[in-house]
Chains A and B, each alone.
Chain A
Amino acid sequence: MVVYLDHAATTPMLPTAIAAYAEAMGVVGNPASVHSQGQNAKRMLEESREIVAASLGCDPIEVVFTGSGTEAINLGIKGVYWARAPRQRILVPGGEHHATLDTVEWLAQHEGAVVEWIPLDEQGRIDLAALAAAIARDPLDIALVSVIMANNEVGTIQPVAEVAALAAAHGIPVHVDAVAAYGYIPVDFRALATAGVSALSVSAHKVGGPVGIGALVLGRKTTVEPLIHGGGQQRKVRSGTQDVAAAVSFAVAASVISSEEMAPNQLATQQQEEGHGLETARLAALRDRVIAGVARVAPSAVLNGDPASRLPGNAHFSFPGCEGDSLLFALDVAGVSVSTGSACQAGVPEPSHVLRAMGRSESESRGALRITLGHTSTEADVDALLAALPAAHALALAAGMADRVPGR
């Protein structure tokens, strides 16, 4: 039996989302067509948009469907940057997802952007004083601030509202990458917009929907230059025939997030104090079981990220003296799927840039293992991991830094 503990990479689609997807794919009609089939498709699409909007606490008109979370982030950053020309500065914390890193670096290389990296502390939290200082230096030339809501690798939750407040004081738009946070902690766009957030990116496949659809929540007052031009769909912000079936399936997953059972959002009103809904609390308990168990069976392992303010499904460790890929291999052979961090191109591993941004050395950034839980995770999964870990850890220690320069 394979134990899947890599839900941050992608989580299994909900059976109801699969069924809805398959059924909707059988329905003909372009939502832009005038005839009745077109109108039917349009109805399915807009109902879906409303459900997704409800899960994000925004108005349906503010939801722009995209082809992925990455596309949403590109639109949220490039689109705002271009709309804010000739302002050049972009403020971004270190340790962001590659969708953000590579986008702002591209803007720096090709569009004259000046990127300023805001440091993280040892737990991965943005240095608000450094951000405030960076904003204070010529705030009129800042195009935007982009910040991840919860780090996809180490799970640290960022003080997004405080970041937004600092920027909003100078009228600077803030883009929030909520791809890893969505579905796991409350994402309430209305509350964030009040604090000063302008745009927010999410992805369907991280919450039990299909791969191939994401969304950018674009506040009514925020203008962006489109990345994709064509038929003028979605307020001319994102042209291209809209994927009704994917939206329908996304909506099924989104509706579960909004339901009382799952609840980061619906119960948020009552449980905001505790910060979690029922599913969130269940995952946090499993996560704590992982953290306690790893401390027991591999005492040398170091928990990375903020120990308290972290994603409920995320446990991220460094194993000194081990290579992350040796650990991953040994656990994979034992039937436990985990990750060394973010999946990367062609499987070529690199030391985690997130840990590097948190001040770790290159060698300390190597033996990283990310265990992420999701809607199908059970105590039995956690126990299977903990049963397999000691042997895998011993193998990885023996393999050690065999692929490294001796003595380093």
Chain B
Amino acid sequence: MSGGVDSAVAAARAVEAGHEVVGVHLALNRMPGTLRTGSRGCCTVEDSMDAQRAANIMGIPYYVWDFSERFKLDVVDDFIAEYAAGRTPNPCMRCNEKIKFAALLEKAMALGFDAVCTGHYASIVTDADGNKQLHRAAAWAKDQSYVLGVLTADQISHCMFPLGATPTKAEVRAEAAERGFSVANKPDSYDICFIPDGDTKGWLGERVAPATGDILDRAGNTLGQHDGAVAFTVGQRKGLSIGTPAADGKPRFVLEVRPITNTVVVGPKEALAIKEIAGNKYTWAGLAPEHPEVEFDCHVQIRAHADPVPAVAQVVSTTSVTGIEGTLELRIIPNEPLAGVAPGQTAVVYVGTRVLGQCTIDRTVSAVPVSVTTASTTPASTASASPVPVNA
């Protein structure tokens, strides 16, 4: 119970369904915000108190369990390391994968519980053979199946999402008000919970030592300097501070962040279009497909609130690339190119409303081939003379 309206109503519905329910608030930070900093939707003292008041009203016991050490290592440190490696991680997915449906579930099972019930908007469906499947919520606008895409069959078989069938969030709020929960009108949380003021760049800047590096075009010509590659995300347009305009006069966008060489690659908007994504870290949310090596139709979603895009996917061998026997990746080819894809993001694969599985994107292929143009207005570029393949 985060202290928000969703988990409170989910708990109340589980109680009404006849389950023996215990409210658990996760202490994820050793230094929770004080009452003075106010609520942010989770992880502050005020949120913990809100959760407890809701538990009081539905008459269930309530405890705070400390997962701060695991959270720091598996979510916060991972977030920093991923950014430092030039990838764009989703800490909420990591928290679901490693904390809520792993550390918490394990501990709860050991203490005699059967399942973890949360206020996520998603549905669990049992197929004809009794296997549990993860599906989108009825409330399409609030659907959170994307951030649950990392769950495995075993985790899904011990989950409950009582809000999955509710058509709108407004109904959840109305129900909370009817039940007398003080959190009925509490604002939703959007920010990353461990970055108190929502300033992700500033927060990362304090943790990842910034160093001046080159801004390159797709051909490898130096266009200017930046103050730290970590401060950039793929698709970003503002803040590039390149003195000279592009030869074609069009605005330039960040295409790639390369932390190893501390360089940022920029180019025209069209070059952001990605025609293929792949990841060797993939999982199936439930029963694995019988023949994943055979190309199948699906939809792919690359962000929590992105629209799903029709695609074909298959598991293919990467042995010829890696030189290691038996290496596989999930390769996804969208019917139309995707914009704003960055390595580290999660691609969730759907079949209809069902979440089939996911991969962490580690490889993308641009829809626009590199056309080597001379950076005519740039002072003689000496640094990276050889053209570098984009998004290789």
Q: Which chain A residues have a beta carbon within 8 Å of chain B's beta carbons?
A: 323, 325-326, 328-330, 332-333, 345-350, 395-396, 398-400, 402-405
Contacts and interface: CB of A to CB of B under 8 A. Distances in A.
Contacts of A400: 110
A350 to B, nearest CB: 7
Contacts of B69: 403-405
Given A329-B63, A346-B64, A395-B110, A403 B49 contact: no
Grouping DSSP codes into helix (H, G, I), strand (E, B) and loop, the A interface class, with mixed when no group exceeds half, is helix
In this complex, which of A326, A332, A346 has the most chain B Cβ atoms within 10 angstroms of its Cβ?
A346
Interface stretch (B100-108, B276-284, B332-340): B100-108
Contacts of A323: 66, 107
B30 A403 contact: no
A101 to B, nearest CB: 16
Interface string B96-133: 00000001101100111000000000000000000000
B75 to A, nearest CB: 12
Contacts of B107: 323, 326, 399, 402-403
B48 A395 contact: no
B112 A348 contact: no
Contacts of B110: 326, 395, 398-400, 402
Of A328, A329, A396, most buried by chain B (CB within 10 Å of CB) is: A329
Nearest to A329: B63
8 contacts: A323-B66, A323-B107, A329-B111, A347-B25, A347-B62, A349-B64, A349-B65, A350-B66
B32 A348 contact: yes
Nearest to A399: B110
Contacts of B38: none
Contact of B27 (A333, A349, A398): A349
A405 to B, nearest CB: 5
A268 B74 CA distance: 56
Interface in B47-64: 48-49, 52, 61-64
A142 to B, nearest CB: 31
B65 A325 contact: yes
A405 B70 contact: yes
B330 interface: no
A153 B67 CA distance: 23
A399 B111 contact: yes
B115 to A, nearest CB: 16
Pairs of residues from A and B, 3 with the lowest C-beta to C-beta distance, nearest first: A399-B110, A402-B107, A347-B64
A348 B73 contact: no
Contacts of B67: 403
B66 A348 contact: yes
Contact of B103 (A330, A332, A398, A403): A403
Contacts of A325: 63-66
Contact of A405 (B45, B66, B73): B73
Contacts of B48: 346-348
Contacts of B106: 399, 402
Nearest to B71: A403
A404 B70 contact: yes
A381 to B, nearest CB: 21
A3 to B, nearest CB: 16
B73 A330 contact: no
A242 B196 CA distance: 42
Given A348-B27, A349-B64, 6 more contacts: A325-B64, A325-B66, A346-B52, A395-B112, A399-B106, A403-B67
Contacts of B73: 405
Given A330-B111, A345-B45, A395-B111, A402 B61 contact: no
A334 B301 CA distance: 46
Contacts of A346: 32, 45, 48-49, 52, 64
A388 to B, nearest CB: 14
Contacts of A404: 69-70
Nearest to A349: B66
Nearest to A326: B111
Contacts of B112: 395
Nearest to B48: A346
A102 to B, nearest CB: 13
A243 B64 CA distance: 35
A343 to B, nearest CB: 11
Given A399-B111, A400-B110, A403-B104, A347 B30 contact: no
Nearest to A398: B110
B66 A403 contact: yes
Contacts of A329: 63, 111
A330 B45 CA distance: 24
B77 to A, nearest CB: 11
Nearest to A362: B69
A69 B225 CA distance: 60
B64 A403 contact: no
Contacts of B25: 347
B32 A402 contact: no
Nearest to B62: A347
